[in-house]
Structures are given as C-alpha cells and as structure tokens.
Amino acid sequence: MELYILSVDNLKKLSEELIKQNWDLISPSEDGAGYQKVVNSDKISLNSKAAPTKISFKEYFFPKSEALFYFKQNQNDVELSDPKSADTKTVIFGAKPCDAASLPALEKVFNWDYHDEFFNKRRDNTVIIGLACNYSDEYCFCNSVGLSQNSEKGSDIFLTGQNDGSFLAKIVTQKGKDFVAAFKESFSQSDAAGLSQPASDSESPKKEAPAQARKFDYQNIKNWLDKNFANSFWNTAGELCLGCAQCAFVCPTCHCFDIVDENCSLNCGRRAKNWDSCQFSIFTKHTSGHNPRDNQNKRYRQRIMHKFKYYNDKFEEILCTGCGRCSRGCEAGIDIAGILEEIDQLPE
Ligand code: SF4
Ligand code: SF4
C-alpha cells in the first residue's frame, strides 16, 4: 500500500500547476448543486462532511446531450464531420465514494456490445481523487449495497482527511500512481504512523463515519426480484410517481439515452445522444401506439429490476451506490431505500 501526505499548501500548488498545464479541474460546488469546473485553486472543495451534491458527476463522462457526428447535405451527397474530441486531461477532486463507485459499474455497459469511444476517452483522460465521507442522512444507504463511506472503488487516489487539515493519499490504481509520480513535488512520503488510515472496502466504516439508519440485504432483494416480476407489490409501488425522471437524471449510475437526428436547418444537423429515462411514459411506446409499460407502476418496477436484478444478472454489478440522491430530490416523496427495505421483508 503506497501512502502519501497531501498538505493544504501542496494541494493549492498542485491545483495551480494542473491549471497551468491546461488540465480541467472538477470539484463539488460549494452550494452542493453539483460538480463544477474550477479555475481558481481556492475553489477546490474537499469537505468530507458535505452531503452528496444534488447531481452526480456522471455528465463529465456521459454528457446530457452530445453530438456523435454532424451532417450536411450537399447536392448529391452527405458530408459527415466528427465533433471535437474529448481529450482534455481532467482530474476530479473530492469524489464521494458513492460517486466514484458508479464508474466501474458504468464501464461495463459502455463496453459491452459496443465500445463507446466518447465515454471511454473521457474515462481514460480522467483521474478520480476520492475522499473518505463523514456524512450520513436518512437517505444514505451505501452500506447496504456493498460499499461504505471509505470505499475506494472507482477512485485512482483515495484521500482521508487528517486533524491538521492535510490528507492521507492512498494510491489505488496505476493511473493514480502515474499521477503522483508526475506531480511528485506535491506528495510527501508517509509511513502512516499515527494517521487515520482508510479502511479497505471489505472492512466496516471508520468509527467516525456516521452510522446509516437504512438497512437491507441486497442479495435478498435480488432473490426476491428473481421470482416476483408479477407480484402484486408492483401494483402500487409506483403509484405516487410523477414520471418526471429527476431520479434518473441525478443518479450516478442511470445511463439510458436516446439517439436522435437534430436538424439545424433543412440540409444540416447533428446526430445526438441525449439522456433518457425509463420513468418517462413514452420510453417504451411503440410506433403502433402500444406501450408494454403503460403505467407508472410498471415503469417503477423496471427501475428497481434494472438496478438490482437485470444489471446484476448481466454484469455482476448493482446499478446503485446508495447515494440517496433520487430520494432526496423526489417531489413525490418516493424513497428508494424504503421500497428496498419493504422488499427485503417480503416472503419469497
Ligand atoms: S420516482 Fe420521483 S423523481 Fe423519479 S420519476 Fe417518479 S416522481 Fe420523479
Ligand atoms: S438509484 Fe438513487 S440511491 Fe441508487 S445510485 Fe441512483 S440516485 Fe443513488
């Protein structure tokens, strides 16, 4: 295990150097709305006690809307051109464990039957510096989905705050190791004696991490879902749902998208990949007018099935990191942890 110390002064020097070298620096915004690009080193926010931002950082890998190519119709042919390549080197400072853990899950679907070069390029060009979390509220449940406030999953370097304001930096991946080697003036060697060390993924959260009240066994949930597609539980599970898709858009792991041609005039336009959601009523509507998910209960069942059964069957990953964002922001008060706790108690 390679451990270093990143002091407050060195964090500032490191960010100034990165800005000078034209890296994009991304960090949670101070108002908690989302992650934002930082152009001033003082704006890097490494607050382990902050709540998860309202929106996750997924748009830095999978933008809300992006051009796949542009087209222009000439007299007898169509001219195609590529969008600007997403090759800016990027570092995300202070990623919550429940955000960082979404990336290994998303990588599976973006490299399954088709290798999504847009996602992969951004992923390759981005270093994730995770931060141990000291926050918990009534919506958090990372401990119930195999993660913890100290989970290093998805991080390249994992920081744990120290009493003097510095950070213990643990190298997690080769990319993290290369980053530290490239900016070695900012990281001092540590023997970690007397310092708070991050617990490994398999260990329980550090003592000072607040306990989580929400608890269920995700394996039980999977077992129940395997046998209960037609259970009457689904007749009411989504009846309050407005179909607004706020839950999908703030979620670090939701990744549905639609591909459409958007014309800029009669003879030119772009083919775009835009966020979509299984919670929208027209998501599965056929051209014939038939809709196999013709009510919100069926659509909510799909949300739970996809996250806890289908994705698990296909990729051995749960499509949920327990960040609680979908519940915090739901105008209808639908609490995914409550639904999962209820399922956990149902007889198989
Ligand atoms: S669960 Fe809540 S946030 Fe999600 S679509 Fe329904 S009303 Fe909107
Ligand atoms: S489903 Fe909800 S709790 Fe799970 S990762 Fe998405 S936003 Fe977070």
Q: What is the pLDDT of residue 213?
A: 85
Please give the Cα distance from 315 to 53 (Å, whole number).
Answer: 27
Residue pLDDT, tens place only, 167-212: 999 999 999 999 999 999 999 988 765 555 554 444 433 446 888 8
244 lines ligand 1 (CB under 6 A): yes
Annotate 239-306 with DSSP letters as a single string. TT-----HHHHH-SS---EEEEEEEEETTEEEEEEEE--TTSTTTT--TTS--SS-SHHHHHHHHHHI
Residue 156 CA to residue 178 CA, distance in Å, equals: 10
Q: Which of 336, 340, 341 to mutate to test the pocket of ligand 2 (most atoms within 8 A of CB)?
A: 336
Domain that holds residue 86: 3-345
pLDDT on residue 207: 43
User: Does the beta carbon of 253 sit less than 6 angstroms from any atom of ligand 2?
Assistant: yes
For residue 261, what are the β-bridge partners?
271
Residue 326 alpha carbon to ligand 2 centre in Å: 6
* 51 alpha carbon, distance to own chain's centre: 15
pLDDT in tens, 316-337: 999 999 999 999 999 999 999 9
Say how many Å lie between the CA of residue 300 and the centre of ligand 2.
13
Among residues 142, 135, 183, which one has the least CA distance to residue 4? Answer: 183
**Ligand closest in space to the Cα of 332:** 1
Domain total for the chain?
Answer: 1
- What residues in the chain have per-residue pLDDT under 70? 192-208
